[in-house]
């Protein structure tokens, strides 16, 4: 029994985790450009952040730099990938093979980063068997077996808003622990599941605030 108020072990702030992929992205670019060393100041220039913030963020995970010199680009890049769990590939399944789902399947940005959509599902039985890119659309009733056979942990939701929460609940029931949701809703998920929403309309709606007199 402690006299002081209970304070759980200081975790890494979520905002920090959200920034790590940005670091990965610029480091990847720097590596492609054959840069071998970079300082927190230079990283800050590229990302429009303060050098102190970058150093503090990295310090949550270890000591990756060299005083007087900076960070080794490739070393820091690989450390960050390991921390984020993207030093290996991830399989994902897609739910919803409409216009949006098709665009997601054809989006060339996922697989170079190690995210592979290995399977697609749609409630519409007419779409079953259709080939989109290299993926064949399957019936929703095959979802449990496919998820378990391929050990899929990520679900990408591209169904209409009205069905999205149901689909999300269904995915979670069958073992999905990460969801990338494209439906324009505010989904409710247990704390054991990580969800990210892709919602360009929300982005535009907060943008317009700053584009009106009111926002200045």
Partner DNA sequence: AACTGTGAAGGTTTTCACAGCG
Partner DNA sequence: CGCTGTGAAAACCTTCACAGTT
- Binding-site partner at residue 22 among DNA, its own copies, none, CB < 5 to 8 Å by type: its own copies
Nearest residue to 147 via CA among 112, 95, 108:
95
Asked if 52 interacts with its own copies (CB under 8 A), we say no
Contact residues for DNA (CB under 7 A)? 5, 7, 13-16, 39-41, 49-53, 55-59, 63-71
169: its two tokens:
């609940």
Q: Which of 50, 59, 106, 149 binds its own copies (CB under 8 A)?
A: 106
DSSP SS3 for 97: coil
Asked if 103 interacts with its own copies (CB under 8 A), we say yes
| Cα dihedral: 83, 86, 90, 93 (round 10) | 90
Site string for its own copies, 126-165 (x = CB under 8 A): ---------------------------xx-----------
What are the φ/ψ torsions at residue 163 (nearest 5 degrees)? -100, -10
Q: Considering only residues 4 through 43, tell me which ones interact with its own copies, judged by CB under 8 A.
A: 17-18, 20-22, 24-26
Q: Which residues contact 54 (CB under 8 A, 6 or more apart)?
A: 23, 40, 43, 44, 47
Give the number of C-alpha atoms closer than 13 A to the C-alpha of residue 139, restricted to the C-beta side. Answer: 4
Residue pair 180/102 in contact (Cβ under 8 Å)? The answer is: no
Closest CB to its own copies among residues 75, 115: 115
* Nearest-approach distance from CB 27 to its own copies, in angstroms: 11
Give the number of C-alpha atoms closer than 13 A to the C-alpha of residue 59, restricted to the C-beta side. Answer: 8
Counting residues that bind its own copies (by CB under 8 A) gives: 55
Binding site for its own copies (CB under 8 A): 17-18, 20-22, 24-26, 46-48, 83-86, 90, 99-100, 102-103, 106-110, 113, 115, 153-154, 177-178, 180, 184-186, 188, 194-196, 198, 200-212, 214-215
């Amino acid at each position: 029994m402690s006299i002081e108020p209970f304070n759980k072990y200081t975790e890494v702030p979520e905002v920090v985790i959200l920034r790590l992929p940005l670091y990965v992205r610029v480091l990847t670019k720097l590596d492609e450009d054959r840069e071998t060393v970079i300082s927190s100041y230079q990283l800050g220039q590229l990302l429009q952040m303060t050098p102190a913030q970058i150093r503090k963020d990295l310090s949550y995970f270890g000591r990756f730099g060299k005083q007087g010199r900076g960070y080794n680009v490739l070393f820091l890049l690989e450390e960050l990938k390991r921390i984020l769990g993207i030093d290996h590939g991830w399989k994902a399944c897609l739910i919803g093979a409409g216009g949006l789902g098709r665009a997601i399947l054809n989006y060339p940005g996922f697989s170079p980063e190690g995210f592979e959509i290995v399977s697609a599902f749609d409630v519409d039985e007419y779409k079953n068997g259709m080939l989109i890119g290299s993926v064949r659309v399957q019936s929703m009733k095959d979802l449990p077996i496919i998820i378990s056979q391929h050990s899929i942990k990520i679900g990408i939701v591209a169904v209409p808003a009205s069905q999205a929460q149901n689909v999300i609940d269904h995915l979670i029931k069958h073992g999905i622990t990460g969801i990338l949701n494209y439906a324009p809703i505010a989904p409710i998920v247990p704390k054991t599941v990580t969800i990210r929403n892709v919602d360009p309309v929300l982005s535009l709606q907060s943008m317009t605030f700053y584009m009106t007199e009111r926002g200045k």
